[in-house]
Amino acid sequence: MTNTHTMTLAQYLKGVAEKQFSPTEVTQAIQAEISKVNTDLNIYLTENEQAVQETEAGSAQPLAGAAIAVKDNISTKGMRTTASSTVLDTFVPPYDATIMTKLKAAGMSIIGKTNLDAWAHGSSTETSQYGRTLNPRNPEHLPGGSSGGSAAAVAADTCIAAIGTETAGSIRQPAAWCGVVGLKPSYGRVSRSGVIAMASSTDSPGPITKTVEDAAILLNYMAGHDKYDGTTSPQSVPDYTQALGKSIKGLKVGLLYQDIAGLEVVNPHIQAAAKVLEELGAVVEPVAAMDPHYAISVYTVVQRGEVSSNLARFDGIRYGNDRSFFGDEAKRRIMLGTYTLSKGYADQYYTTAQKVRTAFMQDFQKLFSNYDVLISATSPSFAKKIGVSENAAMFGELEDMLLEPSSITGLPGINVPCFHDTTTNLFIGLNIMAPMWREDQVITVADAYEKATSWNTWRKV
């Protein structure tokens, strides 16, 4: 094999098992690829000097030493973790995030730490204090965010797979813009312990991968109750690879947000995707849902409030630099959250937002009493041009509008590519959502769709 770095995780695991190549040579090939592209694309903030050793050490484990890219807001013991903010410029966590402990035990190798919007605030990577990442599919464009570095790492074949985190779109939207798969698990399915908190009530770590199958494999090693995170669900975790290759015949699919303005570019492709699902035997119906514009507001208030609280600990005493190092975006969010939680405003903003959140939960409950899954566009557009997010206080929220209803309600969702514009080399993504704890359902539909279409660039190989 010549291009070992372009392998999917499933191909890698098969190849290692069949001794077609050694895990070490793949990790070295990936390192070589990173050296080639990283200066231009700015995907990795920190490369792991121990990656080859970790691959060797993990080669007998289930993940066989696979080179995994990790978003830089996930604490890695002994390896610099910045959340793309100079506040944490030299911060070396003294402990591992639970998902790192689990994935390390499963034999992964951390190939490096990927760029993100500083503190995961944004949908472009342009708020990173270490510079924006460029979209490997077309460097004139942004990779999306906040997990833009992880999505770009996958798209650029500079890892076997990646880990991201989503608060409202931060896995699925960059996956859509980079033409890769991004799975956001149910809130509480994957431990947040050690993940630098952004909005505590919606943060969900998840895999960003080349295929749906890869996402299912990685989720198996990430999901589950954690005694260090009281918000993780105690219910048992199924084997997500069992959800692959299943028929979706008779499945009821609700098609959302066809009447929302500004979706003219993406809607035809979403409708085409709906047709594909119908051809696979699903019953697809357009259905009205609560206006996502309200979700923007709920998310904005809740997220700003929780951010103002979660970022209060960065005072430069026990670690990191002092509060003057926060970038403008973080300062804006901290201050707005402080304002909406302050005396005289908390009821008007915070409590009201949490009530409207309940209304969204009730709306989804109603929808899921009629449909097994819901689909929509992931993002209203193709990847946008670089520089577009600057000085736009609400850029991310407007970009992630279609994902916010499911984020504030904790639902699982996935992005799969559903259109590839060969002129610009840019993608449109399909978002598939299921009820709480039904990641398996999301995987089944996404896998069926992916296998029935040729939009996934790794499936062509």
Q: State yes or no: is 193 an active-site residue.
A: no
Q: State yes or no: is 324 an active-site residue.
A: no
- Supply the minimum distance, in Å, between the C-beta of residue 127 and another protein: 13
Among residues 71, 102, 104, 113, the one annotated as catalytic is 71
Question: Which residue number, 34 or 74, has a Cβ lying nearer to another protein?
Answer: 74
- Supply the minimum distance, in Å, between the C-beta of residue 116 and another protein: 14
Question: Which residue number, 280 or 361, has a Cβ lying nearer to another protein?
Answer: 361
- Supply the minimum distance, in Å, between the C-beta of residue 73 and another protein: 8
3-state secondary structure the chain: CCCHHHCCHHHHHHHHHCCCCCHHHHHHHHHHHHHHHHHHHCCEEEECCCHHHHHHHHCCCCCCCCEEEEECCECECCECCCCCCHHHCCCCCCCCCHHHHHHHHCCCEEEEEECCCHHHCCCCCCCCCCCCCCCCCCCCECCCCCCHHHHHHHHCCCCCEEEEEECCCCCHHHHHHHCCEEEECCCCCECCCCECCCCCCCCEEEEEECCHHHHHHHHHHHECCECCECCCCCCCCCCHHHHCCCCCCCCEEEECCCCCCCCCCCHHHHHHHHHHHHHCCCEEEECCCCCHHHHHHHHHHHHHHHHHHHHHHCCCCCCCCCHHHCCHHHHHHHHHHHHHHCCCCCHHHHHHHHHHHHHHHHHHHHHHHHCCEEEEECCCCCCCECCCCCCCCCHHHHHCCCCHHHHHCCCCEEEEEEEEECCCCEEEEEEEECCCCCHHHHHHHHHHHHHHCCCCHHHHC
Among residues 75, 146, 204, 308, the one annotated as catalytic is 146
Q: State yes or no: is 71 an active-site residue.
A: yes
- Supply the minimum distance, in Å, between the C-beta of residue 189 and another protein: 9
Question: Which residue number, 275 or 293, has a Cβ lying nearer to another protein?
Answer: 293
- Supply the minimum distance, in Å, between the C-beta of residue 346 and another protein: 7
Question: Which residue number, 211 or 300, has a Cβ lying nearer to another protein?
Answer: 300
Among residues 59, 84, 85, 170, the one annotated as catalytic is 170
Question: Which residue number, 76 or 109, has a Cβ lying nearer to another protein?
Answer: 76
Which residues does the annotation mark as catalytic? 71, 146, 170
